[in-house]
Amino acid sequence: MSRKKNSVLLEVDRSIIENNLLIEENQNEDLRDLFPTRTSQQTEDVPWKLVKPTPGICVKTHTEDGDKVFINICQTPELPGPDDISEETLVKIWSSDDHSSFRVPMSIGEAHEEADKAGNPTVAYDVAINPEFYKKTENSKLFLTFLLTVVMEGLMDKYGLHLATEDYVILKNRKVMGCLLPHRVRQTGSRKPAGPLIQEMTPPVHTSSRQPRYRIRREPPRSEPPEYLVAEFFMKDVTNSRDVTLDVGEDRIVLDSPGRVGQQGYQLDAFIPYSVDQDKCSASFNTDTKILTLKMAVISES
């Protein structure tokens, strides 16, 4: 990624944060597990795992009101695949009144705001499926059309959208609109999926997310470019590093902390005004102050 933002990001919520955060150097809990290990976690009743999907295809469609909608169809092996059937069998199932004999497990993510190529605000959704089934859609137009149909049905059913299900475009030069966010996937073991045509593999307990208070500062402060960027995130409801997933791109930070049952989580997807070396990033979490500190080495353009 090479997209740049101006340095105003460095001043976000500075006065609010400085009045409320106490930054200390001791009692830090190491966060090496955030790069890149995903840890298994549980709700009270349903075991689940936080996973980061890989890109697949990006589909552009629109609502009945004409608003653009992008769908990132992505992949993760943590989702089971549907039964391996032939095109002939799919046609028979699709044309019948009973679709329950063939189900596509998928994880449907929440909307995230992005900007289209003209810079206008738009919205994108991430929908994850099993990689083996994704490969099947690459080699079969029938399976691809079927997948797009059930994905749009799933989005419309979950979020009450009214999408143009036949007027869509698969983008040739873009696999993802924005940045893929982590998904919480239920761990179902070897049990065969049961249910409707679309089986969403996310936990039954839904909690909303909020953006944590944060700031990003330069080190040294007056150097241009700086040697490092230091980001500090205040998350008062986080108890330890296992509750947080952090991904650092060349010019982007994606943070996700789903929150425990009945508790609001944290989510952030922010651009940074410099390119950073992803192999030279370190993070630590202070369990007393509830501050996650991320240090990123800036790549010099010279």
Where residue 10 falls among pLDDT bands split at 50, 70, 90?
Answer: very low
- pLDDT at position 104 is 86
- Residue 13: per-residue pLDDT: 37
| Backbone region of residue 149 per phi and psi (left: phi > 0; alpha: psi in -120 to 50; beta: other values) | alpha
Contacts of 192 (CB under 8 A, 6+ apart): none
Residues 6+ apart with CB under 8 A from 5: 271, 272, 273
Does 203 or 160 have the greater pLDDT score?
A: 160
Nearest alpha carbon to residue 259 among 231, 237, 281, 289: 237
Specify whether the backbone of 66 is left (phi greater than 0), alpha (psi in -120 to 50) or beta: left
**What percent of the chain shows pLDDT beyond 90?**
25
Residue 126 has pLDDT above 50, yes or no: yes
Please tell me the least confidently modeled range out of 9-13, 214-218, 244-248. 9-13
Q: Where are the domains of the chain?
A: 7-38+207-298, 47-200
The per-residue pLDDT of the chain, averaged, comes to 76
- pLDDT tens, 65-76? 889 999 999 999
- Bridge-based pairing state of the strands 121-129 and 104-108: antiparallel
Q: List, in sequence order, every residue forming a beta bridge with 51; answer none if it has no partner.
A: 183
**Average pLDDT score over residue span 216-233:** 89
Q: Tell me the CATH architecture of domain 7-38+207-298.
A: Sandwich (2.60)
Q: How large is the average pLDDT for residues 162-184?
A: 87
pTM for the whole thing? 0.52
Residue 97 has pLDDT above 70, yes or no: no
Residue type, 105: P
pLDDT for the residue 38: 38
